[in-house]
Structure 1
């Protein structure tokens, strides 16, 4: 059965963003169509353009009048840690009383806190917890995302996390890419022996992850006190040899050359980058590596050292945006909030920020030919907002005006608390 959404008050196809591969984006690249239409069948877009030129739909068709709505591509969240159990609210309390992220980590909190809880959790418990968070993300307009492991930090626990992510992804219409992040922290049994843990990742974890086809990417936290650039290079070269895409947590707290490493290895994405150097920015631009920025993390940690988005953009780097959803440093599933933060704190324009949560985010996951824009042949991933203009989407701070969402061709009404139905299907 077909789905015809027509008329649409404003339709943003992002055709120009695709043509420019996400770099140097302005208003003219959003592909704005007043009084537009979308025709969808079997999860794919058949037509995206003016309502007056829309083809005649099949006899069996769902119709949605969106004449008062704004339609744009579904959001893509390219850096999330949704597979965990328990709570770290006590760490939030400690931060409110003055403790730093590093002090909390040294006190036994941080990543190791989630590790202890996840090691005790069953695969079922992890899959259910993950699926619930994917549902919350969808409620904020996310139709595709990346989900990382990294809270197991031993072979069996990491594999269990990845299996749970695969199960959760299979239970939703969202497009989910899994990332192996065994190199998230040094577990207590390898305290003082990061080389030994790196050996375990390279010789045991990665081969098993690849053999079971549990991940699409491998990520490494290259940071002072975690993994050195040399260890990151070793892990990622092994991952590439096994057929995994590459991603990095790079230059988050100090500049260690993570961006340069990402560029040298041809990674799909270098993430965080609050402490990236000028040389790192130049290397990312030259290599075409997407910079994924996470301003909600900076806000949640009570910091002000936001990633230098304008320097990256002006240097010709493709910029994506993400929530960094995780239990410790960015406990939010609201990518629309990140869209607003990008405009206010990162000084990105609305077109740049919108590209950052759609096409460029998809580009960082290597799914940009599938989703991230509303063009014929692509996945039908659409968000429809009850706002007078596209510019009003980031204008409403932390509140979603989402009315409807189409995920791989499946039409959902937004949760009642967030939606104002405007038409009968």
Structure 2
């Protein structure tokens, strides 16, 4: 007969000590995780699947998410000195803004009045205004001045919940000035807690000195700008404004193919003012994204869907152009195109607020709140090749999160014209706290 040592029923069982983390966010009415088993941008009905956890909790250590789940389950395992209650609130990933023209000098409020009075964007550009006006101001500015302006803009973006942005050049249009802008973007990325991903957009407009020789300017981009920018590793992407009166399809293709040979990933400003075939070209060259797309054809959308090109839609830009037309987001989603949203922050569209962009997407392009949130987080992260780091609240990703003073995600789009942000967490640190607004400091990385 074998005997087993009896365990007294009244002897307390010692529980395992809870692991200490840096930060716990607990009791969220909705924790919007955007988690997914498939490591691809969301398409179709997937864009409505937010992975919501009620009474949700995040555990954060060393700037990284270490646990996601219901509050009672996570807090059984983890403890922290800093605990943020999200009771009555919604927690979601920090917004990702995948299309901005962050670095520039000057403003164009006079042209806003011209648009109100009926002038078109292309008419203003043809008369030497628009992009070319900003080029004149930006060429005169120093790297330090441009960086200071960029940091000021990022402060406002951060207050509204944006934690990662893409930043294009394009207001220099000389090799020296394009490099200057990208150096300013690099400096801003080093100084500010928001992550800045740089795109070379030398093909933004034909500068006045090449007005009668546009192919000469294309050759300058191919033979001088791209090689030097690639050598200095100042940009990850190359973009082209493919439009009538700017860069045609053949010129766009030459620039993007050449940039790929130097390791720059292609993007395209496509079909913003007219149906030129930019969407089809984006698919053909294997672009990461095609942006704007107000006039894209059904064939172009199908081609993008087949190649997995992300459609970055910019409803605030369309709103500012006063054209009364927006990209057909519903057809894109129904066609299987992955859709992202961005501000298109630039001197013609001074919008830093992704919450407002989400509202515009809902009201003008008929996205649901869930689709718009997907487009402003995980799909936006795919549009800048950062989905392995940000865009969703999953174990192992950067702890970039926003706590909204709203009981559920549907308030994004529904309640607009205000800032719903209560707190912003960037790399595991509380960098915006509106409950302590009088003493709020926007924390910048100086390492």
Give the whole-Å Cα distance in 2 for the aligned partners of 1:414 and 1:394.
Answer: 22
1:101, distance to aligned residue in structure 2 (A): 1.1
Do the aligned partners of 2:159 and 2:432 also contact (CA within 8 Å) in 1?
no
Q: Report the secondary structure of 2:312's partner residue.
A: strand
Cross-structure match for 2:12: none
349 and 19 in structure 1: CA distance in 2 versus 1, 3 angstrom threshold:
farther
Residue among 35, 44, 51 paired with 1:15: 35
| 8 Å CA contact 1:274, 1:307 repeated in 2 | yes
- The 3-state SS of whatever aligns with 2:274 is coil
Cα 1:18–1:61 shift into 2, 3 Å: farther
Number of positions where the alignment pairs a residue of Structure 1 with one of Structure 2: 419
| 1:253-280 residue CA offsets vs partner (Å, 9 max, x unmatched) | 1111111111011110000000101111
Q: Which string of whole-angstrom CA distances, capped at 9 and with x for unpartnered residues, describes residues 190-214 of structure 1? A: 0121100000001000011011110
Q: 1:50 to 1:127 in 2, by over 3 A?
A: same
2:6 corresponds in structure 1 to none
The 3-state SS of whatever aligns with 2:72 is helix
Partner of 1:269: 289
Residue deviations 1:62-85 (CA, integer Å, cap 9, x gap): 111111211011100000001011
Match in the other structure for 1:336: 355
1:177 is aligned to: 197
Alignment of 1:173-212 (within 5 A): 173-212=193-232
Structure number with larger C-alpha Rg: 2
Compute the displacement of 1:417 (Å). Answer: 10
* Structural mapping, 1:41-120, within 5 Å: 41-55=61-75, 61-120=81-140
Q: Which residue of 2 aligns with 1:349?
A: 368
**Counterparts of 1:398 and 1:242 in 2: how far apart (Å)?**
43
CA spacing shift, 1:113–1:57, aligned 2, 3 Å: farther
Q: C-alpha deviations, 1:84-120, integer Å up to 9, x for none?
A: 1111111111112221112211222100000000000
Give the whole-Å Cα distance in 2 for the aligned partners of 1:345 and 1:259. 21
Rate the CA distance shift 1:77–1:417 in 2: closer, same or farther, 3 A. Answer: farther
Question: Which sections of structure 2, spanning at least 5 residues, go unmatched?
Answer: 1-20, 441-447
2:3 match? none
RMSD over equivalenced CA pairs, Å: 1.8
- Say if 2:48 and 2:371, in contact at 8 Å, map to a contact too: no
When normalised by structure 2's length, the TM-score is: 0.90
Structure 1 residue 158: deviation in Å?
0.4
Could you list the runs of 4 or more consecutive aligned residues of structure 1 that deviate by over 6 angstroms after TM superposition?
416-419
1:239 equivalent to 2:259? Answer yes
* Residues in 2 aligned to 1:272 and 1:317: alpha-carbon distance in whole angstroms: 14
Give 1:159's aligned residue.
179
How big is each residue's C-alpha offset from its partner over 1:136-165, in whole Å with a ceiling of 9 and x where there is no partner? 111111011100000000000000000000
1:340 deviates by 0.8
2:391 paired with 1:372: yes
Long gaps (5+) in structure 1: none
Q: Does the C-alpha gap of structure 1 residues 273 and 28 become closer, same or farther in structure 2, counting only changes over 3 Å?
A: closer
In 2: Cα distance, 1:267 partner to 1:198 partner: 19
